[in-house]
Copies of this chain bind each other. A is one copy, B any other.
Amino acid sequence: MGPEATVDLYREILACTPARRDQDHFPVLIYSCPSIPDRSRAILEGGDDPLPYLVEAARVLERGGARMIAMPCNTAHYFLPAMRERVQLPILDMIAETLAALRRRLPDIRTAGLLAATGTVRSRIYAHTFAEQGLRVIAPVDRDQERVQAAIAQVKAGGHDRATRETLQSIGAGLIEAGAEAVILGCTEIPLAFDERSVPYATVNATRELARAAVAWAHGERD
């Protein structure tokens, strides 16, 4: 997984934990394992299967004493059903959390736009989950999707800049013009190069929703 995205998830967890001192935070075991084979490539081109690596990473956390897993990679959620069959610990579902957050905020929403890695878009993991609740997911046209994928690669290489941000934000605006009522930041690299406060449309940050779900779980507010 992208290590910057891993850090971003933990930052989001800290941001939604009320704390005045170290001891107010709950313990988190983070396995930053960037060597997991490329999830998009596996889905799109049949590259190395990341599943055994994802399962082994979950077991590292299990051996370390973790009791629940949050996985900061949207694309990896394509492998979630198979992981759940192979791993004892509960694993949160980032896609379902994002959908729930969107429906809390915009109860009448029918169409969501998706900014995500090409593997996430093509595998239709968002489209399937959303369709179960009657929502439609629209993605950028091919040429724009290529630009989104290039922006994600820039973030992973630590080379994103203002132009990267403007690209993502304007492709998001295009999704709104195409009928989306909100835009999903559906790749954990995207929030690192996207300023949600500066766009005039509704957004939902999948990383933040995963963090909220993890904090709620740690506080005993859910199974």
List the interface of chain A (C-beta within 8 A of B): 1-4, 7, 10-11, 14, 19-38, 60-61, 63-65, 153, 156-158
Contacts and interface: CB of A to CB of B under 8 A. Distances in A.
A118 to B, nearest CB: 15
A22 B26 CA distance: 27
Contact of A63 (B24, B25, B63, B157): B63
6 contacts: A3-B14, A10-B32, A22-B36, A23-B38, A29-B29, A60-B65
Contacts of A153: 21
B25 A34 contact: yes
Contact of A32 (B25, B35, B156): B25
A61 B25 CA distance: 19
A7 B34 CA distance: 16
A156 B25 CA distance: 11
Contact of A64 (B24, B64, B158): B64
Contacts of A27: 31-35
Given A21-B157, A158-B19, A32 B28 contact: yes
Given A25-B35, A27-B31, A60-B64, 8 more contacts: A3-B28, A7-B14, A19-B34, A21-B156, A25-B32, A26-B35, A29-B29, A29-B64
B30 A34 contact: no
A23 B35 contact: yes
Contacts of A11: 7
6 closest A-B pairs by beta carbon, nearest first, are A64-B64, A25-B34, A30-B30, A22-B34, A28-B32, A27-B33
Contacts of A156: 20-22
A142 B121 CA distance: 59
B10 A3 contact: yes
